[in-house]
Structure 1
Amino acid sequence: MKLKLLSMSCTLALAGWTPASQAAVTFNTFVDSSDLSSTLGNNATIGFAYAGDKFVGSVYYGSNNNQLYSTDLTGGNVAKFGSAISGFSGEIYVTSSLGIGGYGPRDVFAGSEAAGRVVRVAHDGSTQGDFVTGLTGGVRSMAFDPYGMYGNQLIVATNAGNIYTVNNTGSATLLANVGEDAEGLSFAPQQFGTYAKGTLFVASEGSGTLRAIAPGGGITNAVTGIYGAEMVSFVPLNLGSSGNPVEGFYSANYAQNVIKASASDFTPYLGDAIVTSETYHTVHRVHWSGTSFDVSTIGQFPAQPEDGIFVTADVIKPSVPEPETWAMVVGGLMVLPLFRRLRSRQG
């Protein structure tokens, strides 16, 4: 919801935070405003996702609101991606499949707050169509379960507070209802307080609550009082390990551009939750001290934070084949010697 800007005279101290003496996280422009404007006539960035050989994003109301765009891995060569999506408007959210859970690698999925449906776009943008329909509430956030606690399925949250699991055929199952909009979601890469590795967390801007959602649908208020909580994203444990410059943290910087912080900025926070505030335009670290969750301020956005993602070695490298694929590969390797012997006899 774009009801902007509460007075900055409302200090973080009033919100229960002590600002860091010096921002540990700094941002640089990744996708330039002029490139977005020249291609779309719109630089009001909202969604942003890594899709293997490209990034894919979206923009807010106005020109090309329902048209996704792509960039190369340096943030350049902005181009329209796929076709304009009929019926989509407002905030458009995007994510990309991981090649697990029966999903193909790097297809792009888009959902709109104006519609309870998700569209799948082929990785190359050549085809697209409805994947999930009939959800209660407009789509507010989406991500794939990378750890398997939720079956490696697509998780979709709506402005009605519904959290769904979606399998690879597009069949949606209600997992939980948090009672309010859930605009951010992510998965813990290790045990986080009393919550197991892989646990799903959702953030709600209205109440500033970070909630844990168990695989059986149980809901726990993990952290409260993060006012304007917009996005939650856990810092991966191997962030920066590949040395690939693509690694880092990316975010839509509404209503200007897309920005990036280097992987090294987050190495002190591996395994922690990063939550951005739409109210204060700040970046917060949620850390388990051993007895409680501590919230601290580690950065300031140039404008207003929207979708944010970490790109790591795990998502850059090709996905690990599923068991069925390994069986085919091994079967093929076993057949090769026989084929060679037959050819030698024929020769």
Structure 2
Amino acid sequence: MQFNDSSLWDIAPDGTATELVTGLNSSQGLDWGGGTGYGDYLYCTSNSNIYEIGLDGSVSVFTYHWCAGGLAIDITGNYGGYMYTSTGCQDHIYEIDFSGNDSMFSDWPTWIDGGGPQDICFDSTGRYGGQMFVATDFIESQSHVSGVFALDTLGNATRFTNEIVAARTIAFDEYGLFGNDMFVVGTSSFEGIAKIWRVQTDGTATGFADVLQTSPMNIAFGSDGAMYVAEYSSADELVTVSRIMPIADTPKIYHVDGVGGDNGNDGLT
């Protein structure tokens, strides 16, 4: 798990947080390469670098790409099994091969001011066509490219849901306790408060959970089947990780004091 104070934190099942890596400036995208051609490393975008992080905390630059933000590795095989990153400065999606060489995958949504692609996620369940999905969070004047979009293998983008007009992150329940559904952090209006949405295979979105009086940053599903939600309170400079189960279960709320930063994009994987 990564917070926006330039550190990468390891959170144990009992909620204990241990700082794993420091010195990551404005880090955003985070994904695990295990089981892919990228090996058993974490990959993290930070200050236009994509870093390769070993389980021992060792850090090296995997590749450089200007304004690299969102990051995901194709685990479906439908997109070559490659790594993909979004760029907020240029508002494009790039493919990164196993050697770190990049090429443009899609020029969508083109060069637009006022936001950009926030997150990339691949359908790990197979229920959503095994597609790539991109969350974008633009200003209202650019509403035609803001929300949740599916990108086909040629890089063509199609709006997937109409209810969410601005999106921060996307996650799929690959373990089944939440119906193998898609979940999105986003808003239904450009002035609205972000919440967690549940999105069906036909694109219908319904509110799933409101959040504490904070800003939801990211969602991930653990091997225990639970949903984990990272929220950031700028007033308290506190990141809270909440555990959500679909059955009667006492939620575990993990408070990590003194961890946090400005209201940026925090990653959870």
TM-score range, shorter chain: 0.7 to 0.9
Q: Provide Cα deviations, 1:207-250, integer angstroms capped at 9, x if missing partner.
A: 241101111110100111343111011123xxxxxxxxxxxxxx
Correspondences of 1:74-113 after superposition (within 5 Å): 74-76=56-58, 78-85=59-66, 88=67, 92-98=69-75, 100-105=76-81, 107-113=82-88
Partner of 1:149: 127
Higher helix share: 1
Partner of 1:214: 200
TM-score w.r.t. structure 2 length? 0.75
Instruction: Choose the corresponding residue for 1:26, options 2, 13, 16.
Output: 16
* Compared CA separation, residues 210 and 128, structure 1 to 2 (3 A): same
Letter in 2 for 1:102: N
CA contact (8 A) 1:95 1:108 kept: yes
Correspondences of 1:48-197 after superposition (within 5 Å): 48-52=30-34, 53=39, 54-59=41-46, 65-76=47-58, 78-85=59-66, 88=67, 92-98=69-75, 100-105=76-81, 107-125=82-100, 127-135=101-109, 138-160=116-138, 161-188=146-173, 189-192=175-178, 196=179
Instruction: Choose the corresponding residue for 1:297, options 246, 253, 256.
Output: 253
* Compared CA separation, residues 155 and 25, structure 1 to 2 (3 A): same
CA contact (8 A) 1:285 1:297 kept: yes
Pairwise CA distance, 1:148: 0.3
Higher strand share: 2
Letter in 2 for 1:222: F
Pairwise CA distance, 1:186: 0.9
Q: Provide Cα deviations, 1:139-162, integer angstroms capped at 9, x if missing partner.
A: 111111111011111111000341
Matched, 1:273 2:227: yes
CA distance in 2, matches of 1:84, 1:235: 30
Pairwise CA distance, 1:102: 1.9
Correspondences of 1:216-255 after superposition (within 5 Å): 216-226=202-212, 227-236=214-223
CA contact (8 A) 1:55 1:70 kept: yes
Identity %: 21
CA contact (8 A) 1:142 1:157 kept: yes
CA contact (8 A) 2:148 2:164 kept: no
CA contact (8 A) 2:108 2:156 kept: no
CA contact (8 A) 2:51 2:61 kept: yes
Pairwise CA distance, 1:27: 1.6
Instruction: Choose the corresponding residue for 2:246, options 269, 280, 288.
Output: 288
Partner of 2:143: none
CA contact (8 A) 2:177 2:246 kept: no
CA distance in 2, matches of 1:55, 1:298: 22
CA contact (8 A) 1:185 1:202 kept: yes
Pairwise CA distance, 1:112: 2.7
CA contact (8 A) 2:164 2:186 kept: no
CA contact (8 A) 1:155 1:165 kept: yes
**Relative contact order, higher structure (CA 8 A, sep 6+):** 1
CA distance in 2, matches of 1:180, 1:142: 16
Letter in 1 for 2:95: R
CA contact (8 A) 2:72 2:120 kept: yes
CA contact (8 A) 2:196 2:210 kept: yes
Pairwise CA distance, 1:166: 1.8
